[in-house]
Amino acid sequence: MTSATTNNSSSEQSVMYQKIFKKIYESKAGTNKNSWEYFSLGLTVYQWLTENDPVYTHTLVLEEVLDAVYEIFDIIISILEMLKSNSSLLAPIVYYSNSFVKRAGIKHNQLFNLLLTSTIVTLKFWSESVQIRNILLADIFEFPVKDINIMEKRFLSGIDYNLNITQNEISEFLGKFDKSYHERFQKLKHFKEQQTLLNQYINHHKNQYNSKKQLSKSANNISTTSIIISADTQNCESY
């Protein structure tokens, strides 16, 4: 087989994958926009941007930011569908991305690459029945496969290769934003009202999280002190 024949075959395969993906994406686009899962995970991503790329979030109204995030989610869901994987993997995908962002930060123009890379890593770790090949996604999105390989390695390094999470951790991550808040948010028609409510809620959640973290730290300190006291007591008894 000549080089030209091989290139033609590869090109035809890429076009075929792109057509399959496009068909799935068109059937999925916008269907989950009002779901609580999209909303909760979308707010998590929005929070990344408010902390790491405030110029972007201040330039656009809230709905525009969330629409851009939801569009990426639709792409991820379409990939999962194409590979016969469960759409519930979206939560672990954002969870791992959250771990990465905590260490490395994020800009709005890096979101797609981050979530795509997390999708690859999540599928390889969680879906034993799915044989995910980086070249497949390289064909669909017209990335050099070597770039995807590099992104995957950097992502894994960024989360310290820590992929072990429990269903409880996923549920807690999803439950970060209360469902009742989702209902209140959807009832507001004006973007500025939504933005105000969202910022209030994020700040409230952040304060709650910091309080819990401080309590946990205090509890650990008390526990450590108890161990030291216990050890000192044992040493006294031995003399």
- For 10-33, the pLDDT digits (tens) are 678 889 999 999 999 999 999 998
Q: Is the pLDDT of residue 222 over 60?
A: no
The region of weakest confidence among 126-130, 152-156, 158-162 is 126-130
Q: Is the pLDDT of residue 126 over 90?
A: no
Domain region containing 143: 11-166
Nearest to 73 by CA among 109, 103, 107, 39: 39
pLDDT value of position 201: 62
- 3-state SS class at 3: helix
Nearest to 123 by CA among 135, 113, 115, 131: 131
Position 155 in a domain: yes
Whichever domain contains 101, its CATH number is 1.10.472.10
The region of weakest confidence among 23-32, 146-155, 175-184, 211-220 is 211-220
Position 48 in a domain: yes
Contact 139, 22 (CB under 8 A): no
Q: Which carries the bigger pLDDT value, residue 132 or residue 169?
A: 169
Nearest to 100 by CA among 46, 154, 149, 57: 154
Triad 38, 94, 106: Cα angle to 5°: 110
Position 83 in a domain: yes
Structural domain tally of the chain?
1
Q: Is the pLDDT of residue 120 over 70?
A: yes
**DSSP-assigned states of every residue in 78-106:** HHHHHTT--GGGHHHHHHHHHHHHHHH--
CA distance 15 to 17: 6
Give the chain's mean pLDDT. 79
CA distance 120 to 117: 5
Position 215 in a domain: no
Q: How confident is the model at residue 207 (pLDDT cuts 50, 70, 90)?
A: low
Position 76 in a domain: yes
Q: Which carries the bigger pLDDT value, residue 178 or residue 161?
A: 161
Position 199 in a domain: no
Position 156 in a domain: yes
